[in-house]
Amino acid sequence: MENTYTYSKHCCEFGRQCQFSDSPAELLVDIHPDPSLALNFSQKSHRDLATQTGVEMSEHEVNTKLHKTRSCGVNQKQTSLFRNKVEKDESYINSVLQLSPPSLTMMHAVWLEFWVDACWLDGCWLYG
Average pLDDT over residues 2-15: 71
**Predicted TM-score (pTM) of this structure:** 0.24
- Interatomic CA distance for residues 74 and 92, integer angstroms: 22
Judged by average pLDDT, the poorest of 13-27, 46-60, 74-88 is 46-60
Q: Three-state SS for 43?
A: coil
- Calculate what percentage of the chain has a pLDDT beyond 90: 0
- The pLDDT value recorded for residue 122 is 57
pLDDT tens digits along 27-67: 888 888 888 888 888 887 777 777 777 777 777 667 778 88
The answer to whether 113 and 6 have CB atoms below 8 angstroms apart is: no
Q: How many other C-beta atoms can be found within 10 angstroms of the C-beta atom of residue 82?
A: 11
Q: What is the DSSP letter of 59?
A: S
